[in-house]
């Protein structure tokens, strides 16, 4: 990796899953102490973005989620040049407007990126953008029925994370941390990835095929 590959953008939207962003970004935050990084937090507007799902989303949950608000640094219209984009999932993707606006942004940005990373159901938006056509990817197994509606993708049911070219996709939520560990190990070095994980007192799953959740959620095929 060249020294110029240090510009990372995180896409957020109402109802994004907190750990989808916070887990991977703790790795990159720590990595920035070793080498310089530029971070952009990107949303539709500059208004604070809550992890609480929008009221437009119909849910079977008995109570509304609590959530936390994040502050964007850029909007879809003034984003700087980026090397990496991280796309989280979350209940917010079930809102049609949020889904379509975020998908359009990802599609527009992808040709200029060196890497595109997704966590959980973030891969569904990448699929909707047409970027995953003919490629392998994975997603949250609890949301598998929603995932496989995008039939042009070779969805891998049993996977902690999947790599196809410059696109990395992880399974649900916490799997994003294992994917990020593997990404840093591959793109930077195993020593750096281990140093970061040890500082976090985090023991990552290093086998991309480790996935007990496909059995828990009875996901066996596309």
pLDDT for residue 12 is more than 80: yes
- Taking residues 55-72, what's their average pLDDT? 81
The 3-class SS string of 156-189 reads: CCCCCEEEECCEEEECCCCHHHHHHHHHHHHHCC
pLDDT, position 1: 45
Whether 25 maps to a domain, the answer reads yes
pLDDT, position 55: 85
**Mean pLDDT (the chain, rounded):** 95
* Percent of the chain with pLDDT strictly greater than 90: 90
Whether 12 maps to a domain, the answer reads yes
Confidence band, pLDDT 50/70/90 cuts, at residue 30? very high
Whether 221 maps to a domain, the answer reads no
pTM of the model as a whole: 0.95
Cα within 13 Å of Cα(97), Cβ side: 6
- Taking residues 192-204, what's their average pLDDT? 98
pLDDT, position 98: 97
Whether 148 maps to a domain, the answer reads yes
- Taking residues 63-68, what's their average pLDDT? 84
Whether 2 maps to a domain, the answer reads no
pLDDT one-digit tens code per residue, 92-125: 999 999 999 999 999 999 999 999 999 999 999 9
Whether 41 maps to a domain, the answer reads yes
**Residues with Cβ < 8 Å from 22, sequence gap 6 or more?**
none
Confidence band, pLDDT 50/70/90 cuts, at residue 207? very high
pLDDT, position 183: 98
pLDDT, position 63: 65
Whether 1 maps to a domain, the answer reads no
Let me know how long the chain is: 222
Confidence band, pLDDT 50/70/90 cuts, at residue 88? very high
- Taking residues 124-141, what's their average pLDDT? 99
Whether 195 maps to a domain, the answer reads yes
Q: DSSP E strands: which ranges in the chain?
A: 7-11, 38-43, 49-50, 69-70, 74-75, 84-87, 115-118, 136-137, 154-155, 161-164, 167-170
Find the domain containing 104 and state its range. 7-216
Q: What CATH code is carried by the domain that includes residue 186?
A: 3.40.50.880
pLDDT, position 4: 62
Number of structural domains in the chain = 1
pLDDT, position 212: 97
């Amino acid at each position: 990796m060249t020294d110029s590959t240090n510009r990372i953008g995180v896409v957020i939207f109402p109802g994004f899953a907190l750990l989808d962003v916070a887990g991977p970004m703790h790795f990159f935050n720590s990595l920035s102490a070793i080498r310089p990084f530029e971070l952009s937090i990107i949303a539709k507007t500059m208004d604070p973005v809550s992890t609480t799902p929008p009221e437009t989303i119909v849910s079977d949950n008995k109570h509304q989620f609590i959530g936390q608000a994040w502050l964007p640094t850029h909007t879809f219209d003034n984003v700087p040049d980026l090397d990496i984009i991280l796309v989280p999932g979350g209940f917010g993707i079930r809102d049609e407007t949020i889904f379509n606006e975020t998908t359009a942004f990802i599609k527009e940005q992808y040709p200029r990126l060196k890497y595109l990373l997704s966590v959980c159901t973030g891969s569904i938006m990448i699929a909707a953008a047409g970027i995953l056509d003919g490629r392998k990817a994975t997603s949250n197994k609890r949301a598998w029925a929603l995932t496989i509606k995008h039939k042009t993708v070779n969805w891998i049911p049993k996977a902690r994370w999947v790599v196809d070219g410059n696109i990395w996709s992880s399974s649900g939520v916490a799997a994003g941390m294992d994917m990020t560990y593997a990404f840093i190990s591959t793109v930077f070095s195993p020593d750096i990835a281990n140093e970061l994980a040890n500082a976090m007192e985090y023991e990552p799953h290093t086998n991309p095929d480790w996935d007990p959740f496909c059995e828990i959620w009875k996901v066996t095929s596309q």
